[in-house]
Amino acid sequence: MGKKVTRIGVSIPENLLKRFDELISKRGYSSRSEGIRDAIRTYLLEYEWIDQEIGERVGVITVTYDHSLRGLTDIILDIQHTHSNLISATMHVHLGKTCMEVILVKGAVEKIRNVVDRLMALRGVKHVKLITTLTEEDI
Ligand code: NI
DSSP 8-class letter at 122:
S
Q: How many angstroms separate the alpha carbon of residue 95 from the centre of ligand 1?
A: 7
* pLDDT classification of 133: cutoffs 50, 70, 90: confident
Residue 28's pLDDT is what? 93
Q: How many angstroms separate the alpha carbon of residue 20 from the centre of ligand 1?
A: 27
CA-CA distances (angstroms) from residue 13 to 46, 62, 81, 115, 127? 23, 23, 32, 26, 15
Q: How many angstroms separate the alpha carbon of residue 50 from the centre of ligand 1?
A: 28
Tens digit of pLDDT for each residue in 33-77? 999 999 998 888 777 767 777 788 899 999 999 999 989 999 999
**DSSP per-residue string spanning 1-70:** -PPP---------HHHHHHHHHHHHHTT-S-HHHHHHHHHHHHHHHHHHHHH--SEEEEEEEEEEETTST
Q: How many angstroms separate the alpha carbon of residue 97 from the centre of ligand 1?
A: 8
What are the structural domains, with CATH classification, of the chain?
14-50 (1.10.1220), 55-138 (3.30.70.1150)
Q: How many angstroms separate the alpha carbon of residue 67 from the centre of ligand 1?
A: 6
Residue 53's pLDDT is what? 73
